[in-house]
Chains A and B, each alone.
Chain A
Amino acid sequence: MNNKNMLEAKKGFFDITLTINGEFLELAVKNGEFLLDALRRHGWKSVKKGCDTGDCGSCTVLLDGKPVLGCLVPAVTAHGRAVTTIEGLGTVRKPHALQEAFVAAGAVQCGFCIPGMILSSKALLDAVPAPTEAEIRKALDGNLCRCTGYVKQVEAVKNAAKKLAGKRRA
């Protein structure tokens, strides 16, 4: 069968094209590979492999701007779509307001859940620039942290929202 929409593994690999952190790329993904594993194998190590069953949220990435779980997305289905990992948000020299706020609030302990948590927060602030505490807690519902009690992450998101609002006014 010859169909433009058929992706068939050749020698165990699919060639897909997608946008990662704003860059249009061709990526070879293994047959049976998930987006999480494909991203890690190609160097996006911020995407964490935690439970691998869609429970913990540490593999959260933004797919077309919305948080999804990389461990449940067959990599080939990301063909033609836009992926954002935390590498696309900011760098050590030029961090995103959320990254700064998480550090300033002391919201990071072991750090494993933080990329996913910040990406979920980013999607929230994109949709709701001034969220209530309940909205923040709801948005972070699927991002589990085993070090903290979530208090400081919630505080960090509030602070980042204020800072971003100030930037928009300026």
Chain B
Amino acid sequence: MPEIIVKPSDLKELWEMLPGLPAARRYLAGGTDIVTADNAGAESSECWIDISGLPELAAIKETAGALFIGSGVKISEIENSKAARKWCPALAAAIPHFASPSLRNMATLGGNAANGSPCADGVCALVAEGAYVLLALKGKKRRLPLRELFLGPKRTALKKDELILAFEIPKRPHAGVYLKLGPRAYFGISKAAVALTAELSGGTIKRAVVALGSVAPVPLLAVKTSAWLAGRQLSPQTAAAAAAMVKAEVSPITDTRSEAQYRREMCGVLLERALGGLR
């Protein structure tokens, strides 16, 4: 753990203090990833900037067209937000599978994204929700489709000192599903996960977004399968064909958690189940 930990009380103060801090610095949000990395010897900052006190990151806000979830909002607060449950059904479905209740009281969605892991449950669900990420570096702000934030395992498009402010989720009535295959029903890291959102009209899928976790270098948007699903009848045949298609879109690896071939097969199984679970 670094010898210097600073806790700015708002964004203005954060930007002012940056020039005076050691160059090897990182943001500390919930700490659940960075602290574990530090304990494992994989983190060597001289300074942590505790951003848990920044009011600008702490709220869930709504406008007419979008829901904004602050990057510092705890996962458990999202779990208890009516607006988040309404406009982000796939994210809401993912939360019970996100670590454990105590970790959900610590972890934030911003940290989940900044950590850049392809297995991040919150991020995978948000990609399926069509979320954007709002970033700031001093006065400079930018807005990216969330999936463009991820460049590779643990690699993101964040510049030095750039901060995730919030996630913007366009308001559109849709159904959402999140299915995760882990070592046990709850509290595990996924071998494979599928997030699905769909706008339905009668038995027809008007628009669908399929995102997958733990089966590619980044949280994966299944572009081809998502596009193919648009306009299809919701049926067992559609689900089976989509399952076959998604298996060709993923690029899983064999690691300590699972094997590549098994993961690929399970992507098909999970998507078929997810489509079967839509209402």
Contact = CB atoms under 8 A, between A and B. Distances in A.
A142 B187 contact: yes
Given A5-B9, A31-B3, A53-B39, A72 B101 contact: no
Given A8-B3, A8-B4, A32-B1, A67 B17 contact: no
Given A31-B1, A52-B39, A72-B106, A77 B28 contact: yes
B8 interface: yes
Interface in B15-48: 17, 20-21, 28, 31-32, 35-36, 39, 48
Given A72-B31, A73-B31, A77-B52, A6 B6 contact: yes
Interface string A87-126: 0000000000000000000000000000000001000000
A157 B127 CA distance: 38
A104 B112 CA distance: 41
Interface string A136-165: 001101100000000000000000000000
B6 A142 contact: no
Interface residues on B, range: 20 to 34
B120 to A, nearest CB: 15
Contacts of A138: 96, 101, 186
A159 B16 CA distance: 54
A76 B48 CA distance: 11
B158 interface: no
B101 A141 contact: yes
Q: Identify which of A1, A63, A72 gathers the most chain B CB atoms within 10 Å of its CB.
A: A72
Interface string B174-199: 00000000000011000000000000
**Most chain A CB atoms below 10 A, which of B4, B36, B101:** B101
Contacts of A25: none
Contacts of B39: 52-53
A73 B6 CA distance: 15
Interface of A: 1, 3, 5-9, 31-34, 52-54, 57, 60, 63, 66-69, 72-74, 76-77, 79, 120, 138-139, 141-142
Given A31-B3, A66-B76, 17 more contacts: A5-B8, A5-B13, A7-B5, A54-B32, A54-B103, A57-B100, A57-B102, A63-B105, A68-B102, A68-B106, A72-B32, A74-B5, A74-B31, A138-B96, A141-B100, A141-B186, A141-B187
